[in-house]
Every structure is written in C-alpha cells, then in structure tokens.
Chain A
Amino acid sequence: MVKQRRSIVVPASLCVALLAACRQDMHDQPKYKPLTASDFFTDGMASRGAVDGTIARGQLADDSRMFEGRAGNDPIAAFPFKVTKADAERGRQRYDIYCAPCHGALGDGRGMVVERGFRQPPSYHIDRLREAPVGHYFDVITNGFGAMPSYASRVPVRDRWAIVAYVRALQLSQNARVQDLTPEDRQKLGVVE
C-alpha cells in the first residue's frame, strides 16, 4: 500500500516542481535594461539623461575649433587636427551611412530618399560649397541646416571631421584636372602628353 501511494507522490511532486519552474522571477528581474519602461519616474522612462551641465571625464568641450568648428564667430578654414588617410576612410564609411541616403554617394544631392520625394539638397560640387570653409560643414552636421536635421546625437565629433574630410575628397574627385594626376594614372587614362 505504501508502495502504491509513492507511485502517485513521485509524479505529483514532479508536476509541482515543473509548475514552480514556470515562475519567471529570474527571467524578468526587477532591473532596468536600456529603454525599458518604468512606473517610478513621471515620464515613464527608465533611462535618465544626465543632469544639465554635467561633463563626463575627458569630454570637456573647451576647444571651439574642435567642437564647434569656429574661431570666434567665423567658421574655421583649416582642420583642427592633421587629417590622415585613415580619417578619410572612416569618413567615407560614415558618409555612406548618414549622408548618402539624401546627398547621394557622389555628393550630387540625388540620394534614394530624394528620389522618393525629399527636398533635394544642393550638390557639393557647386562653387559656393566648394569654397565654403570646413567649419561650415562641421556646423551643418552639428546643428542641421534648413530642412536637414542635426546629426550631432549620432555622429561623434571626431567622425564629423572625418566626414568633412571625405566631402573634401569627393569635391576634389569631381573636379580633378588631368594635370593633377600622376604620370601613371595619366597613362591609364590614355592621355597623350
């Protein structure tokens, strides 16, 4: 008889154990992951912004040339640091992510989004923009320009300068003269000297 009762007890206790495993306390822990909702704060968001005026270590923006592209009130004409090939490569990658949808891969202002009806931005290859100082480009990315929104929250300062370097390279590429090429490249093009 004892034996028989045990034959029920074992599966029964297993069932209880399995049911207990259905509690999700460890799955849904009382901690916040990025962007989860919270009923503690009035705005319902768990992610809190930094208190106004907070400056994280190493993020003091004390150099207006580097962080605003300006000296006094004028946009600067020279890069605030020495631009390397790696910067331009990085710039190409970032340009293709953040700018090409509207400005097009060549910077002619005919990106895919423009094809679908967005206001067409000016080509980078017009005289006014070719002559614009690099500080102007930095300012446009940081603060937006007319119909174009600001990209400051998604493109860090160093990347913004890298993009500007790449835009300069694009402008050169669309306006290169045969005399500027190396003799080998000229030969490739079949230019007769």
Chain B
Amino acid sequence: MQVFHPSTNTISRVSIFGAVFFIAGLLWLLNAFHRSSYYTEVGVPIDQPIPFSHKHHVQGIGIDCRYCHSSVEFSSFAGMPATETCMSCHSQIWADSPMLEPVRASFRTGEPIQWIRVHDLPGFVYFDHSIHVNKGIGCASCHGRVDLMPLMWKVNTLHMEWCLECHREPQRFVRPREEVFNMSWQPPADQAALGEKLVREYKIRKLTDCSSCHR
C-alpha cells in the first residue's frame, strides 16, 4: 500500500533544497538586523532627561571635554559630570529655565541625574579610555563630531569588527597627542607617513589577541 503520493518525493526534495536557502536567508536577516540602525542605534539621537546639547556647550561656548568628562585621561571610565559641575555655570546662567529644573532638583536633593547610556558595550568586553587617549586616538575617531550634536548619538556600531579594523592598522587612525581633544582635526595628506612615525614614537602595539578585550 502506498501512503504517500509519488509527488511527495519532489516536495521532500524541494524542501531539503529549500531549507538551505531558508537557513541562509534567516542568517542573512539576522545579520542585517544586527547591523541595522534599529538594533545598533547608530545615528539615532537618544532622548535624555535634560536636553543637554554638546553643540551648545562644546562648539558654542568652547568648553573642553575634560571639564565634564574629567577622568578620561587616566581611567577606563570617561567620567560623567556631577550635578555640581552643571551648577558651576547654571547657578547663574538660565537659572530659572524649566528645562534645567531636573538639574536644580538633583542639586537640592542630592539624587543623581539619570542619563540614558548611548554607548554600552556588552559585559564581556573590556574597554579602557585612558590608553586610547594617551596613545593618540582622538575622541572623534570613535564618537564622531560630538561638537555638532544637539543630542548625543552613536556614530559607530561598536561591533568587534569595528574595534579590530583599527587594532589591526592603528597607523591609519592615530594622531598627535595634542590633537586628541580637537574635534575638527583632519588626517593630513601624508597620514600614512605620519601614522607610521607616531606608531613608532608612541610604541603602539597591534592588539588583536582575544584576551586584550575579553578578559
């Protein structure tokens, strides 16, 4: 007795064959999702409890990054400004603005302002600002033109391949140490030569072994 019609032979062949494409398609979709700005949030401005503008403070008033992110040169953590840091100016400037009420409330009560993280590496990745800053990698190489951002957004995915692109060839990105905080620095025409020179001068290693970042 024949349970299946002979045509099921073809169906089963097609579905085995089709499964390969189905799986490939699924993987492709997953990968596309992983890289889409919906998932990585690249280029998506993040709303904050206070609409703090780097454009106004950095480009407009010319405040250095370190006035607010004061541990970026010697610690893994860049540091976030304490409420007192905002109040050093806003005790007098825009002192009655409703936009700044959360800052004043935090100053009165001592409760910290809760900023929403924009960059957030997974817990299994180790990152350190100080070594990058001290070996001549500018803020703008990783964070983009922060001085033009009315609200903060991510410019790079922070995917492993992105880190490695630079760790394999640091000479393409390194700049003189004095220019690390300069937002508008552009690589000169002879970056190839300059990069090689700085890599030697700052003794930059090419850290691509897994244990550099996964420890």
Does A pair with B? yes
List chain A positions with a Cβ less than 8 A from chain B.
Answer: 1, 3-4, 7, 10-11, 14-15, 18, 26-29, 31, 33-35, 37, 44-45, 96-98, 101, 112-113, 116-119, 147, 149, 153-154
Closest to A18 in B: B30
Listed by A's residue number, 24 A-B pairs whose Cβ atoms lie within 8 Å are A3-B12, A4-B12, A7-B12, A7-B15, A10-B23, A14-B23, A18-B26, A18-B30, A27-B123, A27-B124, A31-B123, A33-B123, A37-B114, A45-B112, A96-B64, A98-B67, A101-B63, A112-B61, A113-B93, A116-B93, A117-B93, A153-B82, A153-B84, A154-B70
Query: How many B residues have CB within 8 A of the partner chain?
Result: 34
B16 at the interface (CB under 8 A from A): yes
Closest Cβ neighbor of A29 among chain B residues: B123
Checking B30, B67, B87 against A97 with a beta-carbon cut-off of 8 angstroms, the contacting residue is B67
Please state if B62 and A112 are interface contacts (CB–CB under 8 Å). Answer: yes
18 extra interchain contacts, Cβ-Cβ under 8 A, other than A27-B122, A116-B61, A119-B92? A1-B4, A4-B8, A7-B12, A11-B22, A14-B23, A27-B124, A28-B123, A31-B123, A33-B123, A34-B77, A37-B114, A45-B112, A97-B64, A97-B67, A98-B67, A101-B67, A118-B93, A154-B85
Chain A proximity mask over B87-100: 1 for CB below 8 Å, otherwise 0? 11101110000000
A-B contact count (CB 8 A): 75
Contact mask B24-53 → A, CB, 8 Å, 1/0? 001000100000000000000000000000
A4 to B4, CA, bound (A): 12
A154 CA to B80 CA, complexed, in Å: 11
Do A15 and B26 have beta carbons less than 8 Å apart?
Answer: yes
Q: Is B159 an interface residue (CB 8 A)?
A: no
Contact A101 B61 (CB under 8 A): yes
**In the complex, B168 has a CB within 8 A of chain A:** no
Task: Indicate whether B66 reaches chain A with its CB closer than 8 angstroms.
Answer: yes
